[in-house]
């Protein structure tokens, strides 16, 4: 089996215990977004694919692992070289919004996966995820609306690649329409 298929099987099983498939569905959308962006950029597509598939495998909200233990155990079990492993791990660790704030990922592979993850936070899916997250944390609708202003509306201008910028424009406009409609209905 191809390594990316093995990684898909691995994350499907990894996320199966702790949510109703949300972690896995998010991962697969990020993977598809990342491969779409990767077509337009000079990059190592194998690194992009594996970093996208494994990007939330050690998310501290879901797992109590240290030093990317889940991603590393998958990679070492599949004989991925140390050099490739470190490139994948570096890309994964460059993705997080909170850990990196204003820092742009140093490698193109990290930039692509970060864009792919951020695309999944905006648009129709972003809206749905925001309210799902709010509900899951016992927050009301108005609290979730705040999250648009604190984070989601900023993401469009933080995209690294031209492809992601273009995709983000449409999703951003859709969120503005949604917020406008929200105001009118309130």
Q: Answer yes or no whether residue 130 interacts with ligand ADP by CB under 6 A.
A: yes
**Signed CA dihedral, 11, 16, 18, 21: sign only:** positive
Q: How far is the CB of 104 from Ni ion (least distance, A)?
A: 17
Q: Which of 41, 58, 109, 120 binds ligand ADP (CB under 6 A)?
A: 120
172 binds, among Ni ion, ligand ADP, none (CB under 5 to 8 A by kind): none
Q: Which of 71, 121, 167, 168 binds ligand ADP (CB under 6 A)?
A: 121
Q: Answer yes or no whether residue 56 interacts with Ni ion by CB under 5 A.
A: yes
Q: Which residues contact 4 (CB under 8 A, 6 or more apart)?
A: 46, 49, 50, 53
Q: Answer yes or no whether residue 115 interacts with Ni ion by CB under 5 A.
A: no
Q: Which stretch binds ligand ADP (CB under 6 A): 11-19, 85-93, 128-136, 161-169?
A: 128-136
Q: Find out whether 126 and 173 touch, Cβ atoms under 8 Å.
A: no
Q: Which stretch binds Ni ion (CB under 5 A): 6-14, 53-61, 81-89, 138-146?
A: 53-61
d(CA 182, CA 177): 8
Q: Which of 7, 37, 117, 119 binds ligand ADP (CB under 6 A)?
A: 117
Q: Which is nearer to Ni ion, 18 or 180 (CB)?
A: 18
Q: Which of 92, 166, 184 minimizes the C-alpha distance to 123?
A: 166
Distances (CA, A) of 39 to 92, 105, 151, 185: 19, 19, 27, 41
Q: Answer yes or no whether residue 135 interacts with ligand ADP by CB under 6 A.
A: no
Q: Answer yes or no whether residue 134 interacts with ligand ADP by CB under 6 A.
A: yes
The number of C-alpha atoms within 13 Å of 12 and in the hemisphere containing its C-beta is 7
Structure tokens at 57: 């495998």
Q: Answer yes or no whether residue 144 interacts with ligand ADP by CB under 6 A.
A: yes
> Which value, in Å, is the radius of gyration of the alpha carbons in the chain?
17
Interface ranges with Ni ion (CB under 5 A): 56, 117
């Amino acid at each position: 089996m191809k390594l990316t298929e093995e990684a898909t099987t691995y994350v499907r099983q990894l996320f199966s215990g702790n949510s109703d498939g949300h972690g896995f569905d998010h991962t697969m959308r990020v993977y598809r977004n990342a491969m779409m962006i990767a077509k337009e950029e000079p990059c190592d597509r194998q690194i992009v694919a594996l970093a996208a598939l494994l990007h939330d495998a050690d998310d501290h909200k879901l797992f109590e692992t240290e030093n990317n233990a889940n991603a590393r155990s998958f990679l070492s079990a599949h004989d991925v070289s140390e050099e490739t492993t470190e490139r994948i791990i570096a890309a994964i660790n460059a993705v997080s919004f909170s850990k990196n704030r204003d820092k742009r990922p140093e490698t193109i592979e990290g930039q692509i996966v970060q864009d792919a993850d951020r695309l999944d936070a905006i648009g129709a899916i972003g809206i749905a995820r925001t309210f799902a997250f709010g509900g899951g944390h016992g927050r009301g609708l108005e609290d979730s609306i705040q999250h648009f202003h604190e984070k989601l509306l900023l993401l469009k201008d933080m995209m690294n690649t031209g492809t992601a910028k273009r995709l983000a424009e449409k999703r951003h406009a859709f969120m503005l329409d949604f917020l406008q409609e929200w105001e009118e209905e309130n």
